[in-house]
Amino acid sequence: MAITTPECTVPTSAPVLHKLKRNDIRRAIVGSRQLRYFVAVARERNFTRAVEKLHIAQPPLSRAIQQLEDEFGVALFDRASRPLALTDAGRVLFEQAVQMLDRMDEMKAMVARLRNAELTRLGIGFVASTLYG
């Protein structure tokens, strides 16, 4: 069985993680952060309120949104309207980003449960002679 994308085909049994370059991992993490920032702005419909909710400064938030817009090649917000409004592309990205971020949170929770299950072990022992005597 293999995973096929337009770029390549990767066997599902192949150990892919060790082949990822540091920049690929960093880009995925930055992408996740950018999407979280985008979702916060879209929900708040205001950069200032999103900054307060995210506990970050305005320039990094604005830069992250600009990087997303540059990456997709479209405006995600109609900045002329108050409160901010999503463009058609922004609405599509918002729906997909929310689903993706929810799924990422679920995966983190599953991995944490597995990690905790490995750490928590209960051993029960008995001496057979005490049962019959």
Q: Decide if 112 is inside a domain.
A: yes
Q: Decide if 30 is inside a domain.
A: yes
Q: Decide if 10 is inside a domain.
A: no
Structurally, the chain folds into a number of domains equal to: 1
Q: Where are the alpha helices (DSSP H) in 16-127?
A: 22-44, 47-54, 58-72, 88-119
Q: Decide if 70 is inside a domain.
A: yes
Per-residue pLDDT 10s for the chain (133 aa) are 444 444 444 444 444 444 556 666 555 555 889 999 999 999 999 999 999 999 999 999 999 999 999 988 999 999 898 899 999 999 999 999 999 999 999 999 999 888 887 776 667 776 766 666 5
CATH of the domain at 33: 1.10.10.10
Q: What is the DSSP letter of 18?
A: G
For residues 76 and 90, the answer to whether their CB atoms sit within 8 Å is: yes
**One-letter identity of residue 28:** A
The range of the structural domain enclosing residue 44 comes to: 20-118
Q: Decide if 130 is inside a domain.
A: no
Q: What is the DSSP letter of 79?
A: T
Q: Decide if 74 is inside a domain.
A: yes
Q: Decide if 72 is inside a domain.
A: yes
For residues 76 and 88, the answer to whether their CB atoms sit within 8 Å is: no
Q: Decide if 6 is inside a domain.
A: no
